[in-house]
Structure 1
Amino acid sequence: MKTPMLTVDVIIRLSGDRIILIRRGRSPYRGSWAIPGGFVEYGETVEDAARREALEETGLDVEIKDLLGVYSDPRRDPRGHTVSVCFTARVVSGEPEAGSDAADIGIFHIEDIDDLELAFDHRKILEDFRSRYRE
């Protein structure tokens, strides 16, 4: 039986309605902006995976705050069916620095992302984030 791959995404919130995105250094979507995240390793909780991926890709130690949602469209990743658990987080320590498969790192005001080329279904995820935190 074939099953979906499990991933996490973590929206790292900064003061002033700013977030951190990474520019992907690898395919798929090489050169596009993305929410930090990646695959959950065997034996790892999704929360631990989100913290690990945030640290690997941004150099930031984060505290998970909220579950934003679960994104499971079978077409969301061209590599195959993935299900992503998306969290919001705040920075505990560290300085933003691109790492792992990130070619660059950027800090964006959440209202200024409309013109960015975004990977996967990250536009939908960020629209959900904006809607939730505007309320």
Structure 2
Amino acid sequence: MVIQKNAYVDVNPVIVTKEGKIVLAKRARGIVGGGMWHLPGGRVQFRETLEIALTRVAWVKVNLKIVLFYSSLKKSLVGIYDDPKRDPREHVISIAFLCKFINGESIPGAKVDVIKSFSEAEISKLEIAFDHRKTVEDAFSMLTNLNAQL
């Protein structure tokens, strides 16, 4: 057994469609969180910026092209999620950013059965993996505040 000495850093692109829905992926059975919905996410690679990591993760995990919702990481930041118990596999610090869907057709992969976009009401009825429900709630709160300012 390998003992983890440092936390890992992941990014979660919270992908928003033109309809204001958020893209989630259903985890494949047989893996941690199997059968549950989650935000696509992945590790920040060595010498990779957060923005590059976001676009890479969205493309590799769900085959979607994205851009930051706002022009900067700071304005697009949904939150930093650092509870050491948030992922049962290892200590992972997740940084989530609001992103806009540009194009692409989602393609499920080895660890994902289904990719779909949901409204806030629809997501409230889903079984969500890890602490991603909190992330999604924070993202919808950002979107609600944005709409209130328009």
Could you say whether these structures have the same fold, taking a TM-score greater than 0.5 normalized by the shorter chain as the test? yes
Structure 2 match to 1:46: 50
Q: 1:1-34: CA deviations, max 9, x gaps?
A: 9221111111110122211110112621011100
Of 111, 116, 127, which aligns to 2:126?
116
Q: How many residues get paired?
A: 135
Structure 2 match to 1:2: 5
Question: Which structure's CA Rg is the greater one?
Answer: 2
Distance 1:16 1:92 in 2: 13
Q: Secondary structure at the match of 2:61?
A: helix
Structure 1 match to 2:94: 84
Normalising by the residue count of structure 2, what TM-score does the alignment of the two structures yield?
0.83
Stretch deviating more after TM superposition (97-106 or 82-91): 97-106
Stretch deviating more after TM superposition (91-100 or 23-32): 91-100
More helix by share: 2
Distance 1:110 1:74 in 2: 27
- Read off the aligned partner of 1:3 and give its amino acid letter: N
Distance 1:103 1:131 in 2: 28
Q: Secondary structure at the match of 2:12?
A: strand
Distance 1:100 1:17 in 2: 27
Of 18, 21, 25, which aligns to 1:22?
25
Distance 2:7 2:59 in 1: 25
More strand by share: 1
Post-superposition shift, 1:100? 5.2
Q: Any gaps of 5 or more consecutive residues in structure 2?
A: 70-75, 146-150
Q: 1:21-59: CA deviations, max 9, x gaps?
A: 101126210111001111122221222111111111211
Distance 1:91 1:134 in 2: 18
Normalising by the residue count of structure 1, what TM-score does the alignment of the two structures yield?
0.91
Post-superposition shift, 1:127? 1.1
1:75 aligns with 2:85: yes
